Amino acid sequence: MKNRAMCPDDLLVLARRGELCRAELRQLQVYLQASPVSRVLHDLGHHYDTLATDRPNDDALIERVVSRASECRTSPSKQQGPRRPLQLAAVILLGLVSVGVAAATATHLVRRGTAASAADTQEVRRPAPPARAARSSGSSSRLPSAPADPVDTEAPVADETSRGRGPLSPQGASSRASARSSSAAPQAERVLDSAAGLFSQANKLRKARRLGDAERAYRQLQLTHGGSPEAAVSHVLLGRILLRQGKPGAACAEFERYLAGNPGGSLAEDALQGQAMGLRALGRHAEEKRVWETLLSRFPGSIYARVARERLEELGTPSASVAEPSPAAGPTLHEGQPDHD
Amino acid sequence: MMPPSRLGPPDPLAPLARAAQSGDPASIRVFLAALAPRVLRIVRQVLGAEHPDVEDVTQEALVGILEAMARFRGESSVTHFIRRVALLTALNARRRHQLREHLAPRTAWEDAPPAVASCSTPAEAVETQRCLRAFEALLDELPAPQAEAIALHCVLGYTVGETAEACQVPENTVRSRLAAAKATLRKRLHGEALLEARIRGVS
């Protein structure tokens, strides 16, 4: 058990991340009971965490803002951003002034901002580029090395990636991998830089039980190829890693990201199960109950159905018409969870 | 050259930021593409997911980050730096919007209660919505340093240490700002029947 002195403010933050031990959780409960304002901040924190999830159309929005912001920076002679640089600097600087001064200053700011917006609106709201520009990973990968095996093709992943928006098929990845076998470093680097290459690398690390390395690899994939099908799947895989590492809060965030961006995805069932297990570990039983119920209603024949019904019984919610199984000792975090490895 | 942050593992954005500082258009685009998802999340957290200005404010934040990177000397991690710029940009946008609202009827999105997914009952959802509106009003009215500190803490989930690194102030300063902001919030909420019910519930 960790022995670390922590201020109440940090207890609130680390609770959101799922990084508190049992003793610290008890300490947090005592603190929340004593401080109504902190209870409010605690609840609001969870609300803000839910706003941090991605949405299905984010890729298009991100592409637009990145294109316009890039052009603002690289073409100063024809700046088309919503603000001129000096005005923008003034906006940020004025934001640091106290309320008494900011009221008068902000009024001035509104007038300038409104005038600038009216002048710039037509320039800002340009149609999206006809072709989505590829987000190349300019960063060199710092992923740990993995055995140089041929690229594997896991069935759930193939289902996700074959519906992709580019040539990201397992067959394509395999041909790249076989070409790599006699290549020099630059070609191997290009493979790693692709979404498929990064995803494959991360999977190998996960199968090798190098979970910390795998976590970093999945996050790198999400950072550099956030809109790819591989990145979408990585949310579920990373969530499971985080559950194993005892980080249920972070795990729930990953499962929620997948479900928000892929409500009909082939791993939705797994994501719901993972989310429910994470919520259980966090003690958020009301939410856990809702997720189990959602899983059963959407996937009545799920491999997780038995666990879901058992857990709902424990939570005091009668499950559906199927006969109740005999009570077990209690499900572990990984009970009934097939290993995608 | 930017020194590494004093806290935490190596910053994954640091190499991208260094490349972007060179002014190469392709590097700038890669850097912005890496930032944009997290900037978008921060803007949504501050403004609200359905706010009509989310896209414009996100773009504004990205432009502001590029401008600010010219002066960035590695005092904090790149991640903390860009998140702070995004937060401040969004807070400013909130203040501008609130001032405009004084002169115009409330828009539909403002009237629609914010989705509060973490509540299990309608009563809890109403309660949290009221607290949310009180908190957002507080962000608009607090002195900027306190607003920034409480926003980093509550909206973005920063620890005291992370807030101190992002704002480049001592941790005790952060604690003071948080305490002052919470005291103001307590006074604001104290007038609400909601908080009185909570107090009765725990006393």
Encode pLDDT of A278-292 as tens digits.
999 999 999 999 999
Closest of A205, A67, A213 to residue A130, by C-alpha: A67
Closest of A243, A238, A254 to residue A202, by C-alpha: A238
Of these ranges, A110-114, B18-22, B159-163, the one predicted with the greatest mean pLDDT is B159-163
C-alpha distance from B164 to closest chain A C-alpha (Å): 12
Across the interface, of A38, A50, A81, the residue whose CB is closest to B118 is A50
Which token pair is A119?
A: 């002048």
The confidence band for B175, taking pLDDT boundaries of 50, 70 and 90, is very high
Which token pair is B85?
A: 């710029």
DSSP assignment letter at B35: H
Across the interface, of B55, B131, B195, the residue whose CB is closest to A44 is B131
pLDDT value of residue A55 = 81
Query: Are residues A48 and A78 in contact, defined by beta-carbon separation less than 8 angstroms?
Result: no
**pTM assigned to the model:** 0.48
Q: What's the whole-number mean pLDDT along residues A207-223?
A: 87
Looking at every residue in chain A, the average pLDDT score rounds to 69
Do A9 and B195 count as a contact with CB atoms less than 8 A apart?
A: no
Q: Which of B41, B118, B124, B188 to mutate to test the interface with A (most CBs of A within 10 A)?
A: B118
Residue A156 vs residues A111, A230, B152: alpha-carbon distances, Å? 54, 11, 38
pLDDT at A225 > cutoff 50:
yes
Which token pair is A259?
A: 């479900």
Own/partner pairs, B167-173, CB within 8 angstroms, 24+ separation: B167/B84, B168/B75, B168/B76
pLDDT value of residue A136 = 40
- 3-state secondary structure (DSSP) of residue A282: helix
Own/partner pairs, A235-241, CB within 8 angstroms, 24+ separation: A235/A261, A235/A271, A236/A267, A236/A270, A236/A271, A236/A274, A237/A202, A237/A203, A237/A206, A237/A340, A238/A214, A239/A271, A239/A274, A239/A275, A239/A278, A240/A270, A240/A274, A240/A337, A240/A340, A241/A206, A241/A211, A241/A214, A241/A215
pLDDT value of residue A142 = 41
- 3-state secondary structure (DSSP) of residue A341: coil
Do B145 and A219 count as a contact with CB atoms less than 8 A apart?
A: no
B203 to chain A, any CB pair closer than 8 A? The answer is no
Distance of alpha carbon A200 from alpha carbon A209, whole angstroms = 14
A74 to chain B, any CB pair closer than 8 A? The answer is yes
Non-local CB neighbours of A271 within 8 Å, separated by 6+ positions: A235, A236, A239, A255, A258, A259, A265
Q: Which of B60, B129, B165, B169 to mutate to test the interface with A (most CBs of A within 10 A)?
A: B60
Do A10 and B154 count as a contact with CB atoms less than 8 A apart?
A: no
Do A9 and B185 count as a contact with CB atoms less than 8 A apart?
A: no
DSSP string, A54-118: --TTHHHHHHHHHHHHHHHHH-GGG--SSS-HHHHHHHHHHTTS-HHHHHHHHHHHHHHHHHHHH
Residue A148 vs residues A151, A157, A185, A328, B128: alpha-carbon distances, Å? 9, 20, 13, 43, 52
pLDDT at B170 > cutoff 90:
yes
Position with higher pLDDT, A334 vs A16: A16
Q: Helix, strand, coil: what percent of chain B each, to 5?
A: 70, 0, 30
Q: Helix, strand, coil: what percent of chain A each, to 5?
A: 65, 0, 35
- Picking from A81-85, A107-111, A170-174, B94-98, which range would have the lowest pLDDT averaged per residue? A170-174
B109: number of Cβ within 10 Å: 13
Taking only residues 125 to 154 of chain B, the set having a beta carbon closer than 8 angstroms to any beta carbon of chain A reads: 128, 131-132, 135, 141-145, 153-154
Contact residues, chain B, for A72 at CB < 8 Å = 63, 66
Do A72 and B63 count as a contact with CB atoms less than 8 A apart?
A: yes
The confidence band for A165, taking pLDDT boundaries of 50, 70 and 90, is very low
Task: Give me the count of residues in chain A.
Answer: 341
Encode pLDDT of A86-132 as tens digits.
555 555 555 555 555 555 555 555 555 454 444 444 443 444 444 43
B33 to chain A, any CB pair closer than 8 A? The answer is yes
pLDDT at A214 > cutoff 70:
yes
Q: What's the whole-number mean pLDDT along residues B23-36?
A: 90
Closest of A279, A339, A341 to residue A315, by C-alpha: A279
pLDDT value of residue A116 = 45
Taking only residues 74 to 93 of chain B, the set having a beta carbon closer than 8 angstroms to any beta carbon of chain A reads: 85, 88-89, 91-92
pLDDT value of residue A53 = 78
Q: What is the CA radius of gyration of chain A?
A: 24
Q: Which of A66, A107, A225, A247 to mutate to test the interface with B (most CBs of B within 10 A)?
A: A66
The confidence band for A194, taking pLDDT boundaries of 50, 70 and 90, is confident
Do A82 and B59 count as a contact with CB atoms less than 8 A apart?
A: yes
Percent of chain A whose pLDDT exceeds 70: 56
Across the interface, of A47, A55, A82, the residue whose CB is closest to B118 is A47
Percent of chain B whose pLDDT exceeds 90: 37
Q: Which of A77, A92, A108, A317 to mutate to test the interface with B (most CBs of B within 10 A)?
A: A92
